[in-house]
Each structure stands twice: as C-alpha cells, then as structure tokens.
Chain A
Amino acid sequence: MGLLPFRPESSTGKPSAVNSSKPKGRRSSLKNRLVLFGLMAALFLFAIGCSKEGQSTWEAFGPVAQKQLDLFNVLLWVMVAVFIIVEGVLLYAIIRYRRRPGDEKPPQIHGNTSLEIVLTIIPTILVLALGIWSVFTLFEIDKPPKGGPEPLHVIVTGHQWWFEFEYPDAGNGKHIITANDLRIPVDRPITLSLESDDVIHSFWVPKLAGKLDMVPTHINEMWFQADSDKIDDDLPVSLYGQCAELCGLAHALMRFRVTVMEQAQFDSWAADYGPPPTNTARAKKGQQVFAANCTLCHNIDGPDDPSLAKSRLEGFLTGGDITPVPAPNLTDLRTRETLAAGIIDLSETTLRDWIHDPEDLKPGNYMSERAVLYQNGTADLSDEEIDALVGYLLDLR
C-alpha cells in the first residue's frame, strides 16, 4: 500500500462549496491595483536596468554576439512568460486559498497522475527545444562561414595583468606584436588563438562575442567579426574588453580595447608599426633613458625576440626579486588609446604619472614589484628623465 502512487481521496474531507467563497470585491480591486503597480514597477526597473553602454551585452556589433543575443532574447521572453504564469498561479493560490474564519478541513487530495504527466511533458518539450536550438547555434558560431573574406589571424596571450596581441601576418607579411589595444579591420572575420603564459584568464569583448578562457598550455580558438552596418559611429570605434576569470591581485584592472577600423586605416597602422623616431634631442635623451632602465623587460624596436620572451617568462615563473618578466611591447605605444591594460586613457600626463608611480594606478603590477627602477617605491628618475622618456615613447615634438 505504501508503494501505491496515490491513495484514494479521503472520505473525511468533502469539498465544501459554501466555504470556498470568492475573495471580496473591494479587497480584490486593491489587490489588482497592487499587482498592476508591481508590474509597472518591474517594467520600469527593467527599462532602466538594461543599458547598451560600455561593456553591455544588450548590443551586438557582429554576427557571433548577435546570434548569442538573439538566443538570449528568445530565452528572456520564455523566462518572462513562465515567470508570470507560474508566479501568477502561485500568487493566485496563496490569495484565493488563504484561511478564513470558519474554514473547514479542505479536500484531502493526494495527487493527479494525468496532470503530473502533462506538467512533466510540457517543460520537457520546452527545454529540449531550447537545448536543440542552442546546439545548432553552438556549431554555427564555432567557425567563420566559408567563402567569406579572408580571416585575419591574431594570437592573444594572457599575462598577469595585461593582454598581448600578435599578428603573424598583418598584411604584406608584416609581423606585429602589441598589447592591450587590439586593432581589427571591419567586415572581416578575425580568428583568434587564445593562450596564457601564467594562470587562467578569459578573453571577453561583449559587443563582439562571448568569452573564452585562456588556459596555459592549451590553445583555444575563437573568432568574431565587426559589421559596419551594425556600427552607427564613424570608424575607428573603440570597444571594451575585460578579463573575466579571476587571475590574481589586479584581475579587476586587466582590461583592453578593440579598435574597429576601416581596412585602409588598419593597413596604414600596420605599415607604420615600428620604433618611435629619434630625430629630436628630447627623443634621443628618452631613448637613452629607456635603454638604461626598461629594455630588460620591454621591447620597443619591433616584435619581441622569442628566445628573449622565453627567458623573461622563466624569470617570472621562478620569481627572483629582480628578474626580467614578460612586459607589454611598446613599439606602437604612441598609437594606443589606453595605458596599463585599458584602465586609463593614454596622454602625456597619465603616462608621466604611470612611470612615476605605477603602484598607485594599478596595485599589484609587476613593474613596480620587480624592476630595479622601483626599488624605493617610485621611479628612480629625475623629472627631466621622465619627461624625455614620455617624449620619446609618445613621439612628442
């Protein structure tokens, strides 16, 4: 008997038609008004809650993010519908069947097998439909469509706490290594190989695609594209990106930008990629300061030498007090928009402040921790030297 699914309805609790009185009119209209107010408030919250600013996922600039957003939008309406129905029924039951004085024992119902089966099948169909659609989308966004424009390949390496971008061939065989500002031509698929030098990071540009982790010794492949017809502003346009996997102290300050350019703008940037000129006295002085203090970790004359990069990484992993560590390539610093992994706009002033006291701007960074220059906290450089260095790095005349 214990194994029977349901016991027959108990004889004691016959439903009492008299007692299941309806809620009184006045109370109900107040309730209705309250419910209406609640719905309005929810809609209002919803409207102010969703913004398309900055890093928002509510706006897509390319096919990958668009497919992900389309799926989410459908999902959202399904969720809202289920929410309203189920919470509505729950609320109705709570109000309708509240205990009133003189209530008798309610009918002792133990279940209803056919209702259970129906209410199991409906959600099963619903979630399977969503699941199957998800699977199709997964495969659709896995690789760029065949027969489109030739993809541009970029190798992205995560470091504590900055991003390195390497273009094996940015056009005409030009090899480029840069950092924290990824420049991409519009309307062209970008294929990315994601790697990491130290711990796990995650690469995320919400407007272009969902995130993918950067795992040491694994190579993860992803792609995205920026579509000109989805971007209203004039190019170049700068999009926000951020590391999305906890990666240590300065995780919150590991950001970057993706600059979407016309192909011609991109080509001209790629062609100009090279060390800053040294044709002024200030730049020459700056170059000397750089050579004396920075070259252990930073390259400024084109892509890093792989063997040098390897020895820097080993220095970092073994962690001596004053060992070279992997650091952003500065060859094209003067063309970038931001400083210290996307956390502040690059200008003469901000660069000066950064060189003077990096710890103040970005707690935990390895430059202030490891470089000889910062043994006493702030840079061991005179104002004049910093001035020359800034002039050289930014090619100020």
Chain B
Amino acid sequence: MAAITGVIPRPTSYAGLWGWITTVDHKRIGVLYGLTAFIFLIFAGIEAGVIRLQLASAESDLIGPGRYNEMFTMHATTMVFMVIMPLSVSFFNIVIPLAIGARDVAFPRLNALSYWIFLFGGVLMHMSFVVDQVPDAGWFSYANLTEKPFSVDRGLDYWAISLLVMGTSSVAGALNFIVTIINLRAPGMTMMRMPVFVWMTLITSLLLVLAFPVITVGLIELTMDRNFGTHFFIPAEGGDPILWQHLFWVFGHPEVYILILPAMGMVTEILPTFSRKPLFGYPFIVFSGIVIGIMGWAVWSHHMFTVGLGPVANSVFTITTMLIAVPTGVKIFNWIGTLWKGSIEFTTAMMFALAFIALFIVGGLSGVSHAVSPSDFQQQDTYYIVAHIHYVLFGGSIVAIFAGTYYWFPKITGKMLDETLGKLNFWLIFIGMNLTFFPMHFVGLNGMPRRIYTYSSEFGWEHMNQLASIGYIVMALGFLVFMYNLWQTRNSRRVSHDPWDAPGVEWTISSPPPPYNFAEIPQILGRDHYWIVKENAEAAGTPITGPEAQVDPSSIHMPSPSYWPLFTAIGVALIGGGLLSHYALSFVGGIIAMVGTVAWANEPPSAPSDHH
C-alpha cells in the first residue's frame, strides 16, 4: 500500500487553491462549511421567495401545485440539512478547538472527509433541479405518498440518497467532536469549566450519533421500497406508512434540538461578554441542556397527535412534551439573570443574541400550546405551526448564527464586520422576521392549512399573507446588507486579538490564529479563563496588551494536508450518484472510496518532509 501513497506525493503547501482543497486545518474547514452552507442558504431563500410570491394573493396562478410542492420541500430540506446544521458545524470547527485550548480536532482528515461528503451530498440533492425531478413530498416525506405509484419520478430517490450521503458526513463529524471535546481539552479545562458552547456541541454531537441511524434505517427502507420491490411502507402489500412517521420523528425531534442547542450555546457565550458579568447559573444551563438532550427522545409523537394513536399515547406525549418546556425555561431565566445588573453593550452580536432570547420566548410559548394535544388537533398542519417553527429555527437558530458570526468573525479573519452595517442588518432581519412570521399565527388559527399552493379569497387569509410576503422582502434586504458587510471587510483594518474583552480561551491568541493555534498549550485557570488571566495580570501591574507570542510553525508538530479525504469523498458521492443513474457508477465509487480509505490508513499523519 505504500506504493499507492507513494505514487502521488503528499501535498505540503498551505497556500492557494490546493492548500484549501487538501486542508485538514479545522479553521479552514470551518470556513468552507460556512461558505458552502451560506450558498445553500441563498438557494433556500430564493425558494422561500417563490413561496411568498405565490401566496401573496388568493387564487394565484404564478406557479402550479407541482412546482409549489417542490419549493417547500427543498426549502425545508435545504434549511435543515444544508444550512442550519452545517452552519452549526462551521462554528464547531472554528470555535471548539480554540475554546478548549487544542491545536486541532481529534481526527483532522476525518474532519475534511465530513466536509467534502457534505458538499457532494448537497450538490447531489440539487442535481434534482438539473434533471427536473425534484423532491416534492415535504421535508418529512410521509409514506406512502413517497411510494410508487404516487411519486413516480426520481425526486424522492434524490432526496433519500442525498440525505444518506450527508448523514455519513454528520455522524463522522459528530464522532470527531465528541472525541475532541473529551480528549483534547487543555490541562485545567475540567468538564465543569468548559464553555457552554462546548457543552452544547458535545450534547448535539451525541444526539447526532444516536439520531442519524434511525433516519438512516428509514431512508434505506424507503429506497428499497422504491427501487428494489420491498414494501416496508406500502399498505396494500402489508407495510405500514405509520412506521415511517415513527422512524422519522424519533430522529426528527432530537434533530430539532440538534438545530437549536448550538444556537443556545453561542448565545450563552455572547451574553456574558457584553454584560461584563459571568454567566448566571452555569451548572443549571449545562444540566438543562443535558436534560433536554435526554428528554428530547421521549416526545417524538407530539408531531403525530392527529395520526390516531389514541388518547393514552397522546396523554403520555402531552405530559412529556409539557415537561421539556421546563429546562428550556430554565435557560431563559439564566440568560436574563446574566443580563441582570450587568453593563450591557449593544454590539451587533449582542443585539442578535438578545433578539434570540426575545424571539425564542415566542417560539417556546407557541411550542407549549402544541403540547396541549386537544387544542393541537385544531392547529396541527396549519400556519400556526409554520409560525412556531420559524420562530425557533429562524428567530432561534439563524438569529443566533448571525450573533455568532458577528462575534467570532474578528477571531477567524482578524477583521471586524462593520458595526453600523451590522445594526442595519440586525433591524432589517428583526423587523422582517416578525413581519413575516407573526401574522402566520393568526392565519393558522383562522384555519389556513400548511402546504397549500392556493387558497380561496373567501377565507379571509389574504391580508395576513401579504404582510408575510412584505416581511420577506425586508428580511431579504437584511441578508443583502450582511453580504455587503462581509464583502467590505476586505479593505478594513486589522483588529486586536481580543476586541470584545472576552473571557474565552480563543481570545488569548492572535487573530487570525496561527495554523497551530497555541504555541504552548495553555493551563486553564477557570471558567472565564481569559478574564482571570487579564485580571491577574492587571493586579500584578503587567496588563496584557497583545496575543500570545507566535513561534516558528516548523517547531510544532501538526498534521499535514492530504488528498485522501477528498478522494474518498468523491467515491462516496459516486456510490450515491450511481444509485440515481447507472449502478456501474456505484461500483466505481465503491472502489474509489475503498482505495482512498486504505491509502489514507497507510498515510502517516505528517509528511516526512514536514517532520522534524
């Protein structure tokens, strides 16, 4: 096997395009994740725009029902699997090793593999637009609408196989972060000193590792049903469509927490910094996160209150769902407790973090109202639910990701996003989001079901829908301002290593950090490590003015770049692509993936030339 690895020389360059393609540096992979997810966000945003345009008037005939079903299916699938999850992973990558005082993740090449598989999975999903056989059964794709003869084209195959491909990426990534967090913490960084974002990453990763196998089973069964004549979900042949719903939501509800816990973690890092106060009730925030992670497994059937499981099952899931509101409430109290008596500075990051709390309260309250199953019988599958999920996923996850972007951008680039543009960005998003999603509560309670491409004017839903569509335009402007803000930083001046006077370990090193992060692995002094360091230095009369000193990179042993993660990922993508076109391609892909894996296994962590 050494022969294989010998044929292609090990890449050694960190510069240029090849430097990025072969990179195993967690910071660069984080940036790649972020940019890729942002491009998918633009796609999903355009799909949302088409939806809002279509619904802006009653009996609109802008697009037909077929196209409309494709739009909401791809909007949700993209936002969940290709935007919010990878954006969270982008922050895991950028922040976690820095925040725990590590030089990289535990498995740098596996990390690169995760990214490339995610990218190819996303591209594969969007190939469905190229062949115009787009998934159209919703992001939940309830059986047996997904079976033949009800879904004849390959749309659902694209959906299932792309998700299977991306699932491998998620599980690999999650395992990587579990091992990283457990094993690579700097000395002194005990579990109960870990930043809350690190805790939430750990819990999210555990949920991912446990939840993805469940959807994987469902997706494989669906693929088998559609292509190889099994009938797991076909009622006429003895299958059961309800089985799919259980599999989907046993995955799907923990997935909701996979989407929101990282957001909560980010906000929990930002609030103390800009209140100049340590986090209020750290152990309560951590334990409530753990409790959510555990209870999240016992509430899935609240998505299925109207399936007809009977009053006993509905009672159980009513009570468990009610109870999961408690740890969520605990977090909100502690965030407000952190603000209390603080000295709050209204940076853009802080404004987004505060908006997160305000909007998440709305989403949380409507969430409690769904838990009340008898009244949920009226609200299930109406716009009331659409309002709820957008308050938690947009008002929650996306707003928190904005907060995190404004907060950590100077660390990863060494440059500051413009604060004036940032405030404009904030207000456009905040106003637009409320204008779009708040009226949906009303239109839902007034009886408008979800996923309908047209409605009659006699129901009185038109004005609220127009309001929502106007809100979309305001939000879209907000995103444009954000993009311009990113663009204009190319000319902006460099900032100090610690522009926010932050407590986290990541702020002790220069911005952007050197490839090896820490010249010397730090000794962690406490929960708010850098505040303690700065305070001690102040007391000793030698205040800290700059980052840790940098050293000659060749004196530090770091993993070398590698071709093999990309090579293996191409193989994995071809396995999926082959199932959608020619099976022979799958065999080629399998061989490529196998060769890639073996070569990878035989490749030393560092190139000989890089050794010292």
Contact = CB atoms under 8 A, between A and B. Distances in A.
B264 to A, nearest CB: 15
A277 to B, nearest CB: 33
A25 interface: no
Interface in B348-362: 354, 357-358, 361-362
Contact of A138 (B318, B336, B379): B318
Interface string B418-439: 0000000000000000000011
Interface string A104-118: 111111111001100
Interface residues on B, range: 35 or more
B342 A138 contact: no
Contact of B446 (A51, A75, A211, A215): A51
Contacts of A51: 446, 460
A79 B145 contact: no
Interface in A75-113: 75-76, 79, 82-83, 86-87, 89-90, 93-94, 97-100, 103-112
Nearest to B351: A94
A248 B449 CA distance: 14
B372 A124 contact: no
Contacts of A202: 306, 380-381
Closest 8 CB pairs of A and B: A210-B377, A55-B447, A49-B442, A252-B452, A2-B190, A220-B308, A72-B375, A131-B322
A42 to B, nearest CB: 9
B608 interface: no
Given A202-B306, A218-B242, A97 B343 contact: yes
A50 B339 CA distance: 35
Interface stretch (B198-206, B272-280, B577-585): B272-280
B597 interface: no
B232 interface: no
Interface string B56-90: 00000000111001000000000000000000000
Given A75-B369, A110-B282, A249 B460 contact: no
B452 A251 contact: yes
A75 B341 contact: no
Nearest to B315: A135
A198 B150 contact: yes
A75 B192 contact: no
Nearest to B314: A138
Nearest to B327: A120
Interface stretch (B1-9, B26-34, B136-144): B136-144
A123 B439 contact: no
B374 A134 contact: yes
9 contacts: A6-B282, A49-B464, A53-B460, A83-B361, A100-B343, A110-B280, A110-B282, A212-B306, A240-B459
Contact of A50 (B235, B366, B446): B446
Interface string B276-320: 111111111000000000000000000000111001001100110
A87 B339 contact: no
A45 B283 CA distance: 40
Interface string A44-80: 0100011101111110000001011101100110010
B191 interface: yes
B341 A245 contact: no
Contacts of A104: 343
B344 A244 contact: no
A345 B286 CA distance: 59
B330 interface: yes
B154 interface: no
Interface string A298-331: 0000000000000000000111000000000000
B275 A134 contact: no
Nearest to B148: A319
A217 interface: yes
Contacts of B460: 51, 53-54, 56
A199 B144 contact: yes
Contact of A87 (B137, B358, B368, B378): B358
Given A211-B380, A249-B65, A317 B149 contact: yes
Contacts of B65: 249-253, 363-364
Nearest to B528: A108
Nearest to A131: B322
B340 interface: yes
Given A123-B325, A250-B65, A108 B277 contact: yes
Given A72-B375, A86-B332, A363-B64, A200 B459 contact: no
A220 B308 CA distance: 6
Given A116-B330, A116-B333, A138-B373, A213 B446 contact: no
Contacts of A250: 65
A82 B242 CA distance: 36
Nearest to A210: B377
A116 B340 CA distance: 14
B535 interface: yes
B242 to A, nearest CB: 6
A58 B346 contact: no
A373 interface: no
Contacts of A49: 439, 441-442, 446, 464
A346 B279 CA distance: 65
